Amino acid sequence: MALTTCLEKGGPHVAPDHFRLMIDCAEACRAAAALMINHSPYHAEFCRLCAQICRDCAASCEELDGMEACVRACRQCAQACEAMAASP
């Protein structure tokens, strides 16, 4: 996944702020998915937070070379999270 690709690329791809953001993103996605699966009444808050982190992640990936696929994936994930946050 993104983390593994970035480790191989090294340099700015493993800069602390960038890499930490990707770990945050993975954790936020995992939590949002778990709450969706659990039909949680708190899913909207988690999906909204997850969407925000995915957007920040897309912006951070956009500053690096060769991460177009990552940027697209983060944006799609952000949109999916926003749609789920808006659903009952």
Long-range contacts of 61-68, Cβ-Cβ distance < 8 Å, separation of 24 or more = 61/2, 61/18, 64/12, 64/13, 64/18, 66/9
Q: Within positions 62 to 81, which residues make up the interface with a second copy, using CB under 8 A?
A: none
Tell me the two tokens of residue 54: 């995915």
The residue whose two tokens read 């897309």 is 58
Contact mark string toward a second copy, 21..60, x via CB under 8 A: --xx--xx-xx--xx-xxxxxx--xx--x--xx-------
- Chain contacts with a second copy (rule: CB under 8 A): 1, 3-4, 7-8, 10, 14, 16, 19-20, 23-24, 27-28, 30-31, 34-35, 37-42, 45-46, 49, 52-53
